[in-house]
Structure 1
Amino acid sequence: MNFSKPLIVLSIGLALAGCNSDSNSTTDKTQPAAPFDLTIAHVNDTHSSFDAVKSSFKVAKTTVYNEFGGHPRLLTKANAYKEEAKTNDDSILFLHGGDAWQGSAYFKLNEGKMNADILSQMGLDAMALGNHEFDLDNEKLNSFIGSINFPVLAANIDTSKDADLKDQTNLKPYVVYAFNGNEKELVTDLDNLPEGKQIAAIFGLVLDDMPNIAPNTGDVEFKDMVESAQSTVDMLKTKGINKVIAVTHIGNAVDLDVASKVNGIDLIVGGHSHTLLGDFTNLGLSNNGTYAKMVTNPDGKGLTCVVQAGEYAQAIGKTEVSFDAEGEITRCGGNNTLLTNDEFYDDAARDTGSKFTDQETASVVSFIEGQDNIAVTEEEAKLRAHINTKYKPAVDAAYGNVIATVPNELNHERRPGDGGTDAHGSDVAPIIAAGQYYWAATPEVVAVSGLKADFSLVGAGGVRTNIPAGEYREGNVSLELLPFANFISVLPVKGSVVKQLLEDTITATLPEGAHAGKFPYGGNLRYTFTETVANTSGTLNSVEVNTGTLEAPNWALLEDSTTYNVSMNSYNASGNDGWTALYDAQTSDSGRVDLAFVDGKLTAFPVSHLEKDGNDKTIVKYEGEDLDCKDETKDIVCNTDAQAVIDYIAAEQQTLTPISYETVTLNRIE
């Protein structure tokens, strides 16, 4: 086989004691005692990015503005991998690591229906169940799963008590395929495996704390990831299946942890942390860690290969795995490839005058052809035309008024230091935080809430896009940047709780490959955190509140015993995604006010306290009427988080540039 990166080759002695050497396993005599090579194409966290994402990379010292990915481009590359496999009579799978939903205007307008349509044209063999697949309700999720032509996998859930999902047959713990070269068939009877064919199983894993991360999990029960993974592998082994793949949506750091605690998984194809594994410094981008990293299992002998392919349909991964005659993994290698168009500019605005000449374009293309982690890729024409004709006109019409001009693209990286950023990280999250503070502190809003905001906090995972150069419209905020339709909460909380929140959430994002969605940014607030033990822990050096104005800040230390009014979206205000300190502060008495428009009027909903239900899901208990965003008897508009930012940009940032001061400083050990 032709491996594009050096393969990890195990010694003969180690291979014979490899990751399928569980003493409880049973060898199925119907499987051929012959080596087996398997190619895995994979994507994850595509988040309804059906169009390409505006981006950039570097050729030497020249910044090249381009577009990466989009589903038509992914389809072209996946089809190329499949065609190559067919020509060589190789076995191949195409897997999705979850979170196909949410993230673009397409999803806001079409919900799961467009995702089912487009994904069913991608030729996928299986997909992990992601947390954002629970963003609507289980009735819509059930409809999505029932209408796609590939299975959704999750081995550590129980849907038997959920009214919508209990009878869904396309939501499975695992699937099994039998291969004869390029031919493959789905195996449904594990007690009668096809003779003379290579057998491989794929099982799914989802986050076991899903009720605290996803808003609408219904009555689905989530079970321990490690225990479920081991029991699934053990069951498959007793059936004589000695090649086991996990497709997961738990994050790269958790994938590595699971691999170190479970015997017998050969390959983990991951998602959730949006980790574009591999070294992309040749493109002026980041080194994001080892692609196809090998992890030793708890038995000290077995090994698991771990991969993940970034975010927003910008890249596709290709992993090539070899097994010996006993089903032991002997090598695993490959890489992620960013998929670019061939129209390049020297300015983020991408106006006609900044377009590369034919000669300059040829030079960039020549450079790309010499790299193995980027490829010029044409969009698959039929899928592109389908999107443009059926879906794009409605999306284009939904963007509304221009609220700002953006001179230069503003980059959002969740964690400072990632994606080539400095210690201050995202330029986008501080703008959102400033907007949500500004809005909650205006006299009109204070008159309704009764609480004047002192500062705001934003979780990086709620920020979904960069801000591209050019005209910026209302819909860019409400449909793309902040698509979750959360309402603004204003929460009185002591400074000591804020410090605990910052320490907890920053520390949780320090490990390599950690899910950084919980990473905090501030508005009218700034802090410095210094890592003291690499990838493990550090110290919160200072936290300061601006007592002046956004234009002329005057910084004062945050006091532990002082109560501050903090504006943020309702998701984080309820302690979700690891913001547990805020949940703990509201279990007996909250004082919080949630804000939404009811019949066109901004309305306050005072919160009594927070509590947990039987599935460990947070429940907001209101003092009076509940804020129910799904109440069809009223005209309720809940996305005040996005409206706050729209109002702020339109009033204060009509030329949209980064906030004039840094709100975050994260000093990492180099």
Structure 2
Amino acid sequence: MKKILLAGALALALSGCASQQPEAPFTLTLAHINDTHSHFDASDVPLMLEGRPVYTRLGGFPRLLTRASALREQAKQTDQPMLFVHGGDAWQGSGYFKLNQGAMNADLLSRLGLDAMVPGNHEFELDNQRLAQFIESVNFPVLAANLDASREPALKDAANLYPYVLYAFDGNDKERLKSMEDAGSDPVVAVMGLVLEDMADIAPNTGNLVFGHEVEAAQRTVNALRAQGVKHIIALTHLGLERDQRLASRVNGIDVIVGGHSHSLLGDFSDLGLGNNPPYAQLVTNPDGRAKTCVVQAGQFAQAMGRVSVIFTPDGRVSRCEGGNTLLTDGVFYRDIRRGEQHRLSEPEQQRLAALVAQDERMAMVEEDAGLRRHIDEQYKPALDAAYGRVIGHVPAMLEHRRLPGRDGSQSQVAPLVAASQLYWMNTPGVQAVTGRRADIALVNAGAVRTGLEPGALREGNVTLELLPFANPLSLVSLTGRQVAGLLLETINTSLPEGAHTGRFPYLAGLRYQFDETRKGSGFLRSIEVRQGEEWVRLDPNASYNVVMNGYSASGNDGWNTLFEAQQVLTDRIDLAWVNGRLTAFPVARLSKTQDGAIRVHYINQPLNCQAQGVQCNTDASAFVEYVRDQRPLVTPLSDTGITLNRL
């Protein structure tokens, strides 16, 4: 009897000790991507390795899938909870999107095994009907807590658009819940979405959607989730790093912010040539002064994947947040962007760099998922190759396009090349045989150039469908030096004021100028010079110059009023287009305006009809294609743009 009582007492004592054991902390792994922008294939990227530039291929969706599958398997083996999320801007950015729009994104994103996605601003660039189709087509929830779609017919009944979703975890086993009533004792993670509050000012096609204040909507949603008993809250945002940090400092209760929009490859990648960016998994203190929010983001173009491990205290606060971004390389290295066999590094060099990558947590050699690679190649790539045509050159490093030069002296790296291409093309023997004239100057309105140029092979379609997609004919028109100067003054001064339309800003070739801003938003031309042979000479106000530009600008549209005024009575302008494959000149007699203010072009003989069968008007794009192919197969920035803009 004593033995039985003793055993019972011991059992009670042991059970009491067991009940006093501290609860094991909940740990969550988050894998994340953002701003993939339809980069389904790998990107050609220059990296600095061993102190020298080498070229490799990073990312692409088949490589993302391999990486995500490996992380999921690792989480399964260790019985750890894991989520895989997308921080928005899956749309736009490649020829695949031009051809397939949201449908290819819906297909391939669904194959990645995502748990949630937040819409980015580029998801609102087509129309709400196609966005609704995308949302209903994907096999993961799309989240936006500060989006009111109740007055938008296309999206008000979208069944897959939520403010947040709930996931319950039993180790690695994951279950999506309808409400906290179904949670039981399992830890629950809420993932909420936040989109840009000023989306209507950024995206062109938001319809009747209403975008709520980011901070207010976030706190309201967090409070509602906490009231339901949710301890762990992830905000999936497309706001940009600066706003993410502001959100963390102004909202209580968000544990992790997984962001997008600013394309921030967080972490120090300076020795790889990719910049010393803000730290990954930065902890920002909440307004209550106690809790902290962990902020992460994973770069751009499907080149990297972020992975963060979050350890929570029993009451749900973040105690540790660690991880980093990993660049996903194919492990093959070249000394030249053209990637010819003669450019491939030797086998000993390949092995040495592979060993270097293996030792660096910021990089990983990852094989493409064979099934997804095959699916892309069979279902989508043939149409891309047919539409985009031949490779005409290679871009060694990213060329940025900015419409208005900055106060720091930064300018578009692409628009000056477009102007140079038009001046070059207009003066080729074949074109001069049609025009009978030689061009002196080229002018390009910044808005005609629609994108920068990414590293890698440049195809004809990258020019005709993306860089210069408006299919504009090139025009050649005589202007006096005084008219050229007046046009520059007009377009520069109307581009400088805060909030002005900067698409009319002029980039140029064959001409250079210095402009001094004397007060905010206006100034004067200190000097203007035109190139004659190998020399620069002062622009003669009374001399006549042959100026090439696209036909839209040549007619005085978009604020180039000087050109309309110069051609109201008489002009020697020639518009150039292809007719049944033959370059043809269309002489212009004069310009006029209709009663509603639209500019009308009066041709001397047959009018130029760009919609007519056999007529192709995209001589602006033809000029760039020919210039790159014949003169600049390695597309690098011009050493001198001709523009000196001294801003206040």
Equivalent residues of 2:195, 2:237 under 8 A apart:
yes
Aligned residue type for 2:249: S
Q: Residue 641 of structure 1: CA displacement?
A: 12
Candidates 89, 99, 111, aligned match of 1:121: 111
Which residue matches 2:39?
A: 49
Aligned residue type for 2:49: V
Which residue matches 1:660?
A: 638
Q: Residue 277 of structure 1: CA displacement?
A: 1.0
Which residue matches 1:100?
A: 90
**Distance between the aligned counterparts of 2:248 and 2:255, measured in 1?**
9
Which residue matches 1:629?
A: none
Which residue matches 1:468?
A: 456
Which residue matches 2:260?
A: 271
**Distance between the aligned counterparts of 1:553 and 1:45, measured in 2?**
46
Percent identity, aligned pairs only, is 43
**Distance between the aligned counterparts of 2:254 and 2:248, measured in 1?**
7
Q: Residue 528 of structure 1: CA displacement?
A: 11
**Distance between the aligned counterparts of 1:607 and 1:237, measured in 2?**
63
**SS state of the match for residue 398, structure 1?**
helix
Candidates 50, 67, 73, aligned match of 1:77: 67
Say if 2:137 is the partner of 1:147: yes
Which residue matches 2:49?
A: 59
Over 3 Å counting, the alpha-carbon distance change for 1:303 and 1:107 in structure 2 is same
Alignment of 1:632-651 (within 5 A): 644-651=620-627
Over 3 Å counting, the alpha-carbon distance change for 1:439 and 1:228 in structure 2 is farther
Tell me the number of residue pairs that the alignment of Structure 1 and Structure 2 aligns.
Answer: 551
Candidates 349, 364, 368, aligned match of 2:353: 364
Q: Residue 286 of structure 1: CA displacement?
A: 1.2
**Distance between the aligned counterparts of 1:254 and 1:322, measured in 2?**
24
Q: Residue 334 of structure 1: CA displacement?
A: 0.8
Unmatched segments (≥5 aa) in structure 2: 1-21, 433-440, 476-486, 540-546, 553-557, 566-574, 601-609
Q: Which moved more, 1:377-386 or 1:542-551?
A: 542-551
Over 3 Å counting, the alpha-carbon distance change for 1:652 and 1:67 in structure 2 is closer
Which residue matches 2:483?
A: none
**SS state of the match for residue 497, structure 2?**
helix
Which residue matches 1:500?
A: 497
Deviations 1:549-608 (A, max 9, x none): 599796999xxxxxxx999999xxxxxxxxxxx9xx99xxx99xxx9x9x9999999999
**Distance between the aligned counterparts of 1:46 and 1:315, measured in 2?**
10
Which residue matches 1:29?
A: none
Deviations 1:342-383 (A, max 9, x none): 222122211111212322211110010110101110001110
Which residue matches 1:411?
A: 398
Equivalent residues of 1:429, 1:463 under 8 A apart:
no
Alignment of 1:537-576 (within 5 A): 547-548=529-530
**Distance between the aligned counterparts of 2:371 and 2:43, measured in 1?**
19
Aligned residue type for 2:497: Q
Greater fraction helix: 2
**Distance between the aligned counterparts of 1:139 and 1:80, measured in 2?**
36
Deviations 1:321-343 (A, max 9, x none): 11100001111121100000022
Which residue matches 1:380?
A: 369
Candidates 282, 289, 298, aligned match of 1:309: 298
Equivalent residues of 2:326, 2:361 under 8 A apart:
yes
Equivalent residues of 1:488, 1:568 under 8 A apart:
yes
Over 3 Å counting, the alpha-carbon distance change for 1:494 and 1:650 in structure 2 is closer
Q: Which moved more, 1:205-214 or 1:544-553?
A: 544-553
**Distance between the aligned counterparts of 1:484 and 1:257, measured in 2?**
38
Candidates 383, 386, 397, aligned match of 1:397: 386
Aligned residue type for 1:478: T
Equivalent residues of 1:103, 1:483 under 8 A apart:
no
**Distance between the aligned counterparts of 1:356 and 1:379, measured in 2?**
21
**Distance between the aligned counterparts of 2:118 and 2:212, measured in 1?**
15
Which residue matches 2:173?
A: 183
What's the RMSD between the two structures over aligned residues?
4.7
Alignment of 1:606-645 (within 5 A): 623=598, 644-645=620-621
**Distance between the aligned counterparts of 2:376 and 2:160, measured in 1?**
25
Which residue matches 1:515?
A: none
Which residue matches 1:431?
A: 417
**Distance between the aligned counterparts of 1:361 and 1:211, measured in 2?**
49
**Distance between the aligned counterparts of 2:49 and 2:359, measured in 1?**
11
Equivalent residues of 2:514, 2:526 under 8 A apart:
no
Q: Residue 95 of structure 1: CA displacement?
A: 0.5
Aligned residue type for 1:474: E
Q: Residue 486 of structure 1: CA displacement?
A: 9.7
Equivalent residues of 2:46, 2:396 under 8 A apart:
no
**Distance between the aligned counterparts of 1:521 and 1:332, measured in 2?**
48
Over 3 Å counting, the alpha-carbon distance change for 1:120 and 1:502 in structure 2 is same
Equivalent residues of 1:439, 1:644 under 8 A apart:
no
Aligned residue type for 2:299: G
**Distance between the aligned counterparts of 1:335 and 1:606, measured in 2?**
61
Q: Residue 282 of structure 1: CA displacement?
A: 3.1
Which residue matches 1:287?
A: 276
Over 3 Å counting, the alpha-carbon distance change for 1:63 and 1:659 in structure 2 is closer
**SS state of the match for residue 154, structure 2?**
coil
**Distance between the aligned counterparts of 2:282 and 2:43, measured in 1?**
28
Candidates 240, 259, 266, aligned match of 2:248: 259
Which residue matches 1:630?
A: none
Q: Residue 39 of structure 1: CA displacement?
A: 0.6
Say if 2:464 is the partner of 1:478: yes
Over 3 Å counting, the alpha-carbon distance change for 1:425 and 1:454 in structure 2 is closer
Aligned residue type for 2:272: L
Equivalent residues of 1:440, 1:567 under 8 A apart:
no
Equivalent residues of 2:422, 2:442 under 8 A apart:
no
**Distance between the aligned counterparts of 1:489 and 1:463, measured in 2?**
19
Over 3 Å counting, the alpha-carbon distance change for 1:365 and 1:151 in structure 2 is same
Deviations 1:250-306 (A, max 9, x none): 111121122222222111111111111111123233112111112222333332111
**SS state of the match for residue 207, structure 1?**
coil
Over 3 Å counting, the alpha-carbon distance change for 1:436 and 1:295 in structure 2 is farther
Equivalent residues of 1:159, 1:220 under 8 A apart:
yes
Aligned residue type for 2:243: V
> Which has the larger Rg?
2
Over 3 Å counting, the alpha-carbon distance change for 1:232 and 1:644 in structure 2 is farther
Equivalent residues of 2:234, 2:256 under 8 A apart:
yes
Equivalent residues of 1:433, 1:458 under 8 A apart:
no
- TM-score between the two structures when normalised by the length of structure 1: 0.70
Over 3 Å counting, the alpha-carbon distance change for 1:157 and 1:541 in structure 2 is same
**Distance between the aligned counterparts of 1:498 and 1:277, measured in 2?**
34
Q: Residue 244 of structure 1: CA displacement?
A: 1.1
Candidates 157, 166, 187, aligned match of 2:147: 157
Equivalent residues of 2:258, 2:297 under 8 A apart:
yes
**Distance between the aligned counterparts of 1:550 and 1:138, measured in 2?**
53
Deviations 1:83-114 (A, max 9, x none): 11000000100000011111111111111111
Unmatched segments (≥5 aa) in structure 1: 1-31, 417-421, 444-451, 506-517, 530-537, 558-564, 571-581, 609-620, 626-633
Aligned residue type for 2:467: L
Say if 2:229 is the partner of 1:243: no
Which residue matches 1:16?
A: none
Q: Residue 144 of structure 1: CA displacement?
A: 1.1
Say if 2:29 is the partner of 1:36: no
Equivalent residues of 1:106, 1:391 under 8 A apart:
yes
Equivalent residues of 1:411, 1:427 under 8 A apart:
no
**Which structure is higher in RCO with an 8 Å CA cutoff and minimum separation 6?**
1
